[in-house]
Amino acid sequence: MRGAIAVIQMTSGPDVAANLAETRRLVAHAAASGAGLIVLPENFALMGVREEDKLAAAEPAGAGPLQDLLAELATRHHVWIVGGTVPLASSDSDRAHAACLLYDERGECVARYDKMHLFDVMLENGERYLESRTTIAGDRIVVADTPWGRLGLAVCYDLRFPGMFRAMLDHGAEIIALPAAFTAVTGRAHWEVLLRSRAIENQCFVAAAAQSGMHGNGRETWGGSMIVDPWGSVIERLERGAGAVCAPCDREQLQRIRRSFPVLDHRRELDRASGRS
């Protein structure tokens, strides 16, 4: 099993066929570069002109062209794939699940995480987002076994909620895969510092795959896909544009850091620290 992790960066648009062709190209490139675990960005298959466009592309769980493509690529290149987010149909015709799917090298979907934290914000520059209008929030964290260690799945806005990552750690997380589509405004201000913070405070690898550039809906995303080690060092980075970067996932380094700097063992319950019984 190849030991490297790759993060893929895209500038997805409203043309699903074009996005999937680009996905094929970049996954093949990452696999040829030695990656065994490949992380795709949020909305890799579709960045629609309207948020409602995702509803037309929503698939039933377990069947559909987007899921079939992820299974095919995993099998063809003998890699594990974190499938960014795929819109999966729900019982509510007006909303879909934003599902982050993990496929093993046999093309089997071995884990599914539904994005928990939805991007309902108004930025100071006037940009407004109301993700909850078309998306159903998930209600559970997901950590899965992989050949590279215990892998936690998170998506974009989840990055701002450190308690979620601490809960993953309590389930043995050693790597966090984070597909994202951070806006240019929030990415410039917070993207790197948040990624490095989550890596440092949980002493884990973070593999963040982003959207980058101007999209057909007029939205600009920040890019900056990166792989961060458990010491908080950025070991690979892709600033702008489409592409892929790879880095080894050194579990011995992770274990060494956790042994020599055992901050995770020093945690205390807040009620105990405050003296409450």
Neighbours of 50 (CB within 10 A): 10
What's at 30, amino acid-wise? A
Pair 79, 99: CB distance under 8 Å: no
Is 115 known to be catalytic?
yes
Given the residues 156, 204, 246, 249, select the one marked as catalytic. Answer: 156
Pair 7, 209: CB distance under 8 Å: yes
Given the residues 115, 131, 236, 246, select the one marked as catalytic. Answer: 115
Pair 205, 234: CB distance under 8 Å: no
Given the residues 22, 42, 105, 236, select the one marked as catalytic. Answer: 42
Exposed, middle or buried: residue 93 (CB in 10 Å: 0-12, 13-18, 19+)? exposed
Is the Cα torsion angle 57, 60, 64, 68 positive or negative in sign? positive
Active centre residues (catalytic)? 42, 115, 156
